[in-house]
């Protein structure tokens, strides 16, 4: 059984740092990733070009592939999955005015993929100088799960606060990161790694650090209780990822800032990694709540 291919959508205004983030993600050498772009040739490439009907694929060194859209988006995604079987697809959605339509299209029309995370990148300097938020930006902003306030080296902390406050008015539910050169921990952001990392000492630019912990059990969980538990997770839990076993089915479980996804998949045990801010304070309660979901044999 092949699990769904996760898609990460990277949006943001011109010059905000989308390619910078992509390059950071692509540094993970051992993952097979495909990057789908509207424009071609931004990322330095070396080697063979595969021309399909809907997509032009360039094999990069290190197992990543770079794909440029030449036909329909959905057909291109299918072609990529068929031809290169990536572990992740990253879509740089430059110039996509209707991000909500793209998100809807992915969720409704592409059962072979799972929308993993929608990232929106803000240029802190430009957002301060030109605070008007246009239609495209607003649309991208509203559907984002993760918002990077980037280029904070070019402005004061007060300005960063102002920019963030203005943006939060349109999307209060997203997870915010203040970055220079999009320096987020991409492993955590996109769940590229699943093993437990109990506490992450890096504190980027005065923000509370991300923390994580894992929960593992051989017991099966009561589905209804688990769904309720997830719906009641505090907003500082940014991501949950792993496997969950119910009465008669096993699943891959993914949760990103309020959006949960269960996909049937064989698992030997329930194993979940929680990532968020101030998690160490909530860890005990979360573990106790999960214990309550366990079905007693």
Ligand X SMILES: Nc1nc2c(ncn2[C@@H]2O[C@H](COP(=O)(O)OP(=O)(O)OP(=O)(O)O)[C@@H](O)[C@H]2O)c(=O)[nH]1
Decide: residue 48, CB within 10 A, 0-12 exposed, 13-18 middle, 19+ buried.
Answer: exposed
Site for ligand X in 142-201 (CB under 6 A): 150-151, 153-154, 180-182
Nearer to ligand X, 16 or 68 (CB): 16
E runs forming strands in the chain: 5-12, 33-37, 49-51, 55-59, 65-69, 88-92, 113-123, 146-150, 175-178, 210-217, 237-245, 250-256, 259-264, 270-277
User: Smaller CB distance to ligand X: residue 153 or 263?
Assistant: 153
Q: Which of 1, 2, 14, 288 binds ligand X (CB under 6 A)?
A: 14
Strand order in the sheet with 259-264: 210-217, 270-277, 237-245, 250-256, 259-264
Sign of the Cα torsion 275, 279, 280, 284 reads negative
> Is position 94 an interface residue for ligand X (rule: CB under 6 A)?
yes
Rounded CA gap, 109 and 261, in Å? 16
Shortest spacing between CB 166 and ligand X, in angstroms = 19
Minimal distance, residue 251 CB to ligand X, in Å: 35
Is 16 a binding residue for ligand X by CB under 6 A? The answer is yes
The footprint of ligand X on residues 246-265 (CB under 6 A) is none
CB of 208 to ligand X, least distance (A): 20
123 versus 223: smaller Cβ distance to ligand X = 123
In whole angstroms, what is the distance from residue 175 CA to residue 104 CA? 20
Bridge partners, residue 178, by sequence: 149
Q: Between residues 20 and 140, which has the closer beta carbon with respect to ligand X?
A: 20
Q: Does 41 bind ligand X (CB under 6 A)?
A: no
Which region among 16-24, 137-145, 161-169, 198-206 touches ligand X (by CB under 6 A)? Answer: 16-24
Q: Give the single-character DSSP code of 295.
A: P
Residues in contact with ligand X, counted by CB under 6 A, come to a total of: 16
Nearer Cβ to ligand X (14/232)? 14
- Closer CB to ligand X, residue 21 or residue 279? 21
How many C-beta atoms lie closer than 10 Å to residue 38's C-beta?
Answer: 13
**Residue 1 sits in the site that holds ligand X (CB under 6 A):** no
Q: Could you tell me which stretch among 7-15, 77-85, 193-201, 286-294 binds ligand X (CB under 6 A)?
A: 7-15
| CB of residue 151 to ligand X, shortest distance in Å | 4
Helices (H), 85-156: 99-109, 124-129, 135-142
- Minimum distance from residue 292 beta carbon to ligand X (Å): 44
Of 17, 191, 242, 276, which one interacts with ligand X (CB under 6 A)? Answer: 17
- For ligand X, the binding residue among 5, 19, 139, 212 (CB under 6 A) is 19
Q: How far is the CB of 39 from ligand X (least distance, A)?
A: 7
99 binds ligand X per the rule CB under 6 A: no
Please tell me the distance from the alpha carbon of residue 281 to that of residue 87, in angstroms, as a whole number: 33
Picking from 181, 191, 215, the residue whose alpha carbon sits closest to that of residue 24 is 181
Q: In what order do the strands lie in the sheet with 33-37?
A: 49-51, 55-59, 65-69, 33-37, 88-92, 5-12, 113-123, 146-150, 175-178
Q: Minimal CA–CA distance to 170: which of 148, 134, 146, 138?
A: 138
Shortest spacing between CB 180 and ligand X, in angstroms:
4
Binding site for ligand X (CB under 6 A): 12, 14-20, 94, 150-151, 153-154, 180-182
């Amino acid at each position: 059984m092949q699990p769904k291919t996760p898609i990460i959508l990277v949006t943001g205004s011109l010059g905000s740092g989308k390619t910078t983030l992509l390059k950071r993600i692509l540094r993970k050498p051992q993952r097979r990733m495909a990057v789908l772009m509207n424009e071609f040739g931004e990322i330095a490439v070396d080697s063979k070009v595969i021309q399909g009907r809907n997509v032009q694929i360039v094999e990069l060194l290190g197992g990543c592939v770079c794909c440029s859209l030449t036909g329909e988006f959905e057909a291109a995604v299918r072609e990529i999955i068929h031809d290169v079987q990536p572990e992740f697809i990253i879509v740089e959605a430059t110039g996509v005015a209707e991000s909500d339509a793209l998100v809807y299209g992915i969720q409704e029309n592409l059962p072979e993929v799972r929308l993993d995370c929608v990232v929106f990148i803000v240029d802190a300097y430009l957002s301060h100088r030109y605070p008007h938020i246009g239609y495209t930006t607003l649309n991208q902003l509203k559907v984002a799960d993760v918002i990077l306030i980037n280029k904070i080296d070019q402005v004061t902390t007060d300005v960063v606060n102002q920019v963030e406050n203005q943006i939060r008015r349109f999307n209060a539910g997203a997870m915010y990161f203040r970055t220079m050169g999009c320096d987020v921990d991409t492993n955590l952001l996109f769940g590229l790694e699943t093993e437990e990392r109990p506490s992450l000492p890096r504190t980027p630019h005065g923000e509370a650090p991300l923390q994580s912990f894992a929960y593992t059990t051989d017991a099966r969980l009561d589905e209804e209780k688990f769904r309720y538990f997830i719906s009641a997770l505090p907003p500082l839990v940014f991501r949950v990822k792993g496997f969950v076993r119910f009465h008669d089915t096993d699943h891959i479980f993914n949760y990103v800032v309020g959006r949960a996804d269960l996909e049937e998949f064989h698992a030997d045990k329930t194993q979940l990694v929680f990532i968020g801010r101030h998690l160490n304070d909530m860890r005990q309660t979360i573990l106790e709540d999960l214990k309550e979901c366990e079905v007693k044999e």
